[in-house]
Copies of this chain bind each other. A is one copy, B any other.
Amino acid sequence: MQDLPAALPGYGPLRATRIRAAQTDRRRGKLLESIRAAIEACDLRDGATVSFHHHLRDGDGVLNLVMAALAQRGLKDLHVAATSIFPVHAPLLEHIASGTVSRISASFISGPVGAAISRGALDLPVVLRTHGGRARAIAHDELKIDAAFVAAPAADALGNLSGRSGRTACGTLGYPLTDVMSAEHVVAVTDTLVPFPAAAIDIPQDRVDHVVLVDSIGDPAGIASGTTRPAEDPGSRAIGAQAAAVIAASGLLKDGFAFQTGAGGISLATAAEVGRAMAARGVTGSFCAGGITGFHVEMLRAGLFRGLMDVQCFDLEAVRSYQSDPRHQAMSAAVYAGPHVGGAVVDRIDAVVLGAAEVDLGFNVNVTTRAGGEIIGGSGGHADTAAGSRLAIITTRLTAAGFAKIVPRVGTLTTPGETVDVIVTDGGIAVNPRREELAGQLRAAGLPVVGIEDLAARAAAAASRPVPPRAEGRVVAVSEYRDGSVTDVVRQVGSPAHR
């Protein structure tokens, strides 16, 4: 070609361009014929960390497909770094038993896997991280992912992924959006291969290495797990009405109000009451965040909020809204809840309404274990939103299944009491002593403010079963806070033989 100097000051050596006939490789795309081929292409070895996300929730088929292929390949000691594990993932127990899986980390674990871990199925402690803490751990290389497997409702051959099309459309892909930024390899698993370019793209092709077409990535009916409608029973509605009254009395309910609720019946009953109050006062909120339900979509359409910030669609109505309404925007787990991004969406929330398995006298909340110590969940975004929001409200009944839910000391500390402001129960409202001014506002509004000790006493009186003692077995799980510190450990209950 041209006559080039060998080197230049301020530039260094010059390497002359040589054109290789490698274009065909680039054109071929990223399609592989099987998950097995993808495992080979990623060069996964014993001890590797493989990540999964839970947008298909209890309908997810991808984690099981991939783990079966990894087991078939004879891999051992794998680390399953999932965002959440559901009952549908029970086949993980076989892979634990066979030695294919020796480590698990997740933000939420429910169903048989949680029960088995609690009974000591794994020798190494499970690491439970908040959604924001998981994003931080990935970004800071504390959680190094060898291969991220993305359940893609639609994909093209170059690896553009869409959660908005395909027969298992699940909406936003907020959790893998974080994984694919740092994973060594990214494998998209799809049952809907579309012509290039996929539309609308949720994860762009430069973040995806391989695409595998399978028969089914899961059951779309499993996306909406449990109810995502406001509770109708009088007890739940009463708690919801009081939580909404707390928000109204707090002074936060004004233009620009930012709101998050879970998808549970009491949370959505609260949201319904808050929506009525906003409409009555002529308040236009800024956004609802979090997992988004059809109920949040209704509030958007009613003009109560300007937008939705959605890390995960909780039902198919939310999916349809994300497909068509530009005010309904996706966010990654890092943007949602990361403590490392200089201000996440959770840091802009005015009020969040959260649930609890237990609350204690220090306002600490347990959403990780049930009475007796068995793992039934984990923080998810609980600790993140409590820390970020101006007003963190916990709604709970005084008792459940005969056990007191307001207790001297939580079985597992998931969300530190320093970040919790108000407990709303069917036996009164307790305000964190840190928020004395707020307690005054609630009293002025005629709300039944009582001491947390009073709530605990009423709960104990109403309970038919004693609070079980803390388990004392070996540590089976570590509950990490958003910053990687440890809020608590979970200890073994019973033994593997008992499961």
Contact = CB atoms under 8 A, between A and B. Distances in A.
A5 B413 contact: no
Contact of A487 (B1, B159, B206, B332): B1
Interface stretch (A146-154, A194-202, A444-452): A194-202
A204 interface: yes
A473 interface: no
A460 interface: no
Contact of A486 (B17, B287, B342, B388): B17
**Residues of A contacting B: mostly:** loop
Interface in A163-190: none
B17 A206 contact: no
B206 A338 contact: yes
Interface string A205-223: 1100100000000000000
Interface string A1-17: 11011001111001111
A498 interface: no
Contact of A306 (B8, B15, B123, B195): B195
A449 to B, nearest CB: 23
Interface in A442-485: 475, 478, 481, 483-485
Nearest to A326: B200
* Most interface-central of A197, A287, A419 (chain B CB within 10 A): A197
Interface stretch (A53-61, A67-75, A261-269, A344-352): A344-352
A494 interface: no
B124 A9 contact: yes
A436 interface: no
10 contacts: A1-B416, A1-B487, A4-B486, A10-B125, A26-B347, A27-B343, A30-B342, A158-B348, A195-B306, A196-B348
Given A18-B485, A196-B286, 17 more contacts: A4-B488, A8-B125, A8-B489, A11-B478, A15-B486, A17-B416, A26-B344, A26-B347, A27-B390, A30-B343, A158-B347, A197-B329, A199-B307, A199-B326, A205-B335, A206-B338, A206-B344
